[in-house]
Amino acid sequence: CDYGTWALEMASDYPNSHFIGVDVTPIFPSAVTKPNVRFLQCNVLDGLPFDSNTFDFVLVRLFGNTFTERDWEDKIINEIVRLTKPGGPVGSWGHRAGELGASYARQLSGKVKPWVISYLDITEEEYNEMMIKAEQEFNIHRTYASTHRYVGQKIISS
């Protein structure tokens, strides 16, 4: 779910639908809410707290680097299929490219700053300098990320 941007945008576009975002960390928006959006903190590797065949559509977004290949094969794909209603689409979206990716990285670095500063025992100024240098290196070395996407449809059993 990340920051909940997709769920909130979809909730605005489709006010008669309901959207649920989940993430292992509590980084959901608190100031911006919609009546048809709910956010839950939980770990997909432990299974999600929903009945089988609950959702018309399940989207996994920005999880590509979060889990191992074994996690995807043994747990995540099975959980996605379990939650999707028969005949429903499932999909995955990897990562934004270009300037949107840099913008996302900046937002993320701002959210994790307190934990990184504490863990590395550095000052906020040192952290900010590290982030500036990292962004410069991204540009110098033309850093990119390969993404994998999939889309499928849950089989309707007869």
Q: Please name the residue that has the structure tokens 């550095």.
A: 122
Give the residue ranges of the chain where pLDDT is below 70: 1-3, 62-65, 92-104, 144-151
Question: Against a cut of 0.95, is the pTM above it?
Answer: no
- Nearest Cα neighbor of 149 from 103, 89, 84, 105 is 89
Per CATH, the number for 5-95+146-153 is: 3.40.50.150
Average pLDDT score, the chain: 81
In percent, how much of the chain has pLDDT > 90?
28
In the chain, domain spans: 5-95+146-153, 98-140
Which residues are within 8 A (CB) of 20 and not within 5 positions of it... i.e. 6 or more apart? 7, 37, 38, 39, 40, 55
Task: Give the CA-trace dihedral at 120, 41, 95, 111, to 10 degrees.
Answer: -40
Cβ atoms within 10 Å, residue 141: 8
